[in-house]
């Protein structure tokens, strides 16, 4: 049995995060020692490692909740898990596309900078007037930037 601190170290998760996962029901309420310390077994450690890995892969908490529910009934089809993973992959690809557009815009701003004074600085100019953007970037600004 592990205390909350040792569980956190073993899983690479901070203690407040463990408490939060308990509060929202991703981790079950642990047993308590005679001194009222939380005590976690290997199953809780495995579940926390699963949550941490899923978070590292960018899965939202609701998707993790669904995946944990699926893992609790191992005899069922993995089709739902595949759908959840496919949705996450789509979200990651969309995020990469937005980041690529941001990278291109930043590179363009820096390249066009004349390295003169702030009065002539292209970086400051573009940041001051979004209409000067060369590409759409970000969900809120895609319609405002010139193609």
In tens, the pLDDT along 77-124 reads 999 999 999 999 999 999 999 999 999 988 888 887 767 777 777 778
Rounded Cα gap, residues 94 and 51, in angstroms: 23
Rounded Cα gap, residues 147 and 114, in angstroms: 23
Range of lowest pLDDT (34-43, 90-99, 133-142) = 133-142
CATH code 1.10.1660.10 for 4-59 = yes
Q: Which helix (H) or strand (E) holds 32?
A: strand 31-32
Q: What is the pLDDT of residue 121?
A: 78
Helices 42-56 and 4-11: angle between axes, nearest 10 degrees: 40
pLDDT band at 136 (very low <50, low <70, confident <90, very high): low
Q: Please give the angle made by the CA atoms of 88, 94 and 96, to the nearest 5 degrees.
A: 105
Res 146 pLDDT > 70: no
pLDDT band at 144 (very low <50, low <70, confident <90, very high): very low
Domains in the chain: boundaries: 4-59, 79-132
**Residue 52: Cβ-neighbour burial (10 angstroms; 0-12, 13-18, 19+):** middle
| Strands 31-32 and 38-39, bridge-based pairing | antiparallel
For residue 124, give both structure tokens.
């400051």
Range of lowest pLDDT (30-34, 44-48, 136-140) = 136-140
Greater model confidence, 67 or 111: 67
Rounded Cα gap, residues 101 and 97, in angstroms: 6
Mean pLDDT of 63-86: 93
Q: Please give the angle made by the CA atoms of 126, 113 and 125, to the nearest 5 degrees.
A: 20
pLDDT band at 132 (very low <50, low <70, confident <90, very high): confident
């Amino acid at each position: 049995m592990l205390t909350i601190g040792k569980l956190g170290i073993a899983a690479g998760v901070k203690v407040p995060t463990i408490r939060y996962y308990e509060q929202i029901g991703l981790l079950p309420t642990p047993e308590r020692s005679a001194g009222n310390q939380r005590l976690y077994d290997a199953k809780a450690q495995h579940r926390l490692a699963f949550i941490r890995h899923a978070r590292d892969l960018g899965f939202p908490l609701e998707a993790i909740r669904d995946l944990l529910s699926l893992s609790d009934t191992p005899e069922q089809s993995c089709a739902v898990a595949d759908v959840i993973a496919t949705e996450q992959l789509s979200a990651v690809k969309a995020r990469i596309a937005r980041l690529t557009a941001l990278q291109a815009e930043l590179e363009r701003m820096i390249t066009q900078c004349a390295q003169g004074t702030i009065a002539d600085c292209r970086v400051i100019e573009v940041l001051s007037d979004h209409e000067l953007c060369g590409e759409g970037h970000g969900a809120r600004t895609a319609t405002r930037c010139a193609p």
